[in-house]
Amino acid sequence: MKLILVCGARPNFMKIAPLIRVIDKYNEGLPTNNSRLIDYLLVHTGQHYDYEMSQVFFQDLELPKPDIYLGVGSGTHAEQTGRVMIEFEKVLLKEKPDPVIVVGDVNSTLAAALAAVKLHISVAHVEAGLRSFDRTMPEEINRLLTDAISDYLFTPSPDADENLRREGIPEQKIFFVGNIMVDSLLNNKPKAEKSDILERLGLATSHQSPVKPYALLTLHRPSNVDDKQSLTRIIAALEQITERIPVVFPAHPRTQKKLKEFNLHLKSNVLIIPPLGYLDFLNLEMNSRFVMTDSGGMQEETTVLNIPCLTLRDTTERPITITQGTNILVWNDTSRIVEEAFNILDGRAKKGRCPELWDGKAAERIVMVIKTQSQSESESQCQPCPHQKST
């Protein structure tokens, strides 16, 4: 069996790392000449090319150096998708894998899946079935199209299964395996606890000292940062919130650019810092009083960590974080953001629980399904034709 695992942007790395860890562990127990070995190549499309948003994550997650780097860089959605397809097709023609594993919902996910399926190579989509039902989001288009052409659809939650069934996906293609982001979180939590990020930011004097209360903010979606009115409303909420608690803001380069462009200024009680690596950020997230974000992955992480989360969007493709977790949608509504933040600070935070199969074993289930299905297909191909005469 030969797999190609595709990553391209920061959210992908946390979903690829558990798969590689499980495959390597499986292969360790087999002799090198064993036909049951799972061979794989890691392809990095280069959709995120900034060091802080790519290479540092490879180090923190102990990912191997990519076998192939496509280096597509930045561009419009069409440019990125087209470049990945052109370059990835060359890899597929040379390597002839089966299947290709794509994760998440970035442009690289759709592009790699399209290139593979057009060459009649099967595609496995990890984190399938998530829907925000907002087609103005590029990620929603990527999710819909990738799921429509995939052969294995690995879902993180029961609502994702239902979405796929409504769209006519055959039941035999749908596999509820749990949330692979949680695999990375639980595996790396002990390492993240050793980070000295709190001391570096002046939020604690040592690992043993009490942590100064703070809220954590991330902001990067175009609907929030490219629209001056939306960004202004969020900043207005921060002005009120920071009167009661400081806010730490690892600022995405896109957001920093827009703040300058719109001539918007944050109060001194907002600590703006550069983007962080995975372990430092996870430590910051774990120790925060609450999180404000427009990130999909952080809605999941805060639910597992039981940290209150205010999502600065009006839709979510992860509704289970609302129905079962700690997540609340507040969009860019100034009064709503402030109201929910003050509820948390006044001891009225929403309580949540960890959803089914968010147990750190999603990657094991995925590898088992692919291995079992592949063996089953191989055995069926080896069966003699029922009409063939025996000799």
The pTM (predicted TM-score) of the whole model is 0.94
On whether the CB atoms of residues 13 and 59 are closer than 8 A, the answer is: no
Under DSSP, is residue 291 helix (H, G, I), strand (E, B) or coil? strand
193-345 to CATH, choices 3.40.50.300, 3.40.50.620, 1.10.3720.10, 3.40.50.2000? 3.40.50.2000
73-80, long-range: CB < 8 A, 24+ apart: 73/46, 73/47, 73/49, 74/49, 77/107, 77/138, 80/47, 80/107, 80/108, 80/111
Q: What is the DSSP letter of 172?
A: G
Mean pLDDT of the chain: 94
For the chain, give the percent of residues with pLDDT over 70.
Answer: 95
Is the confidence at residue 391, as pLDDT, over 90? no
Check residue 237 and give its pLDDT.
98
Check residue 384 and give its pLDDT.
54
Task: Identify whether 11 is preceded by a cis peptide bond (ω within 30 of 0).
Answer: no
For the record, the structure tokens of 385 come out as: 């034709």
Q: Where in the chain is the domain with CATH 3.40.50.2000?
A: 2-178+357-377, 193-345
Is the confidence at residue 53, as pLDDT, over 80? no
pLDDT band at 390 (very low <50, low <70, confident <90, very high): very low
Under DSSP, is residue 242 helix (H, G, I), strand (E, B) or coil? coil
Which member of 220, 252, 265, 387 is catalytic? Answer: 220
Check residue 92 and give its pLDDT.
98
203-211, long-range: CB < 8 A, 24+ apart: 203/248, 203/287, 211/287
Q: Which CATH architecture has domain 2-178+357-377?
A: 3-Layer(aba) Sandwich (3.40)
pLDDT digits (tens, 9 = 90+) for 92-102: 999 999 899 99
pLDDT digits (tens, 9 = 90+) for 132-185: 999 999 999 999 999 999 999 999 999 999 999 999 999 999 999 999 999 999
* Least confident interval from 17-26, 86-95, 193-202, 375-384: 375-384
Nearest to 9 by CA among 99, 88, 104: 104
Check residue 51 and give its pLDDT.
58
Residue 90: CB partners within 8 Å, gap ≥ 6?
A: none
Give the whole-angstrom CA distance, residue 95 versus residue 110: 19
pLDDT band at 386 (very low <50, low <70, confident <90, very high): very low
pLDDT digits (tens, 9 = 90+) for 282-334: 999 999 999 999 999 999 999 999 999 999 999 999 999 999 999 999 999 99
Q: Mean pLDDT over residues 41-60, rounded? A: 84
pLDDT band at 383 (very low <50, low <70, confident <90, very high): low
pLDDT digits (tens, 9 = 90+) for 181-206: 999 999 999 999 999 999 999 999 98
Residue 48 annotated among the catalytic residues of the structure: no
Give the whole-angstrom CA distance, residue 264 versus residue 227: 12
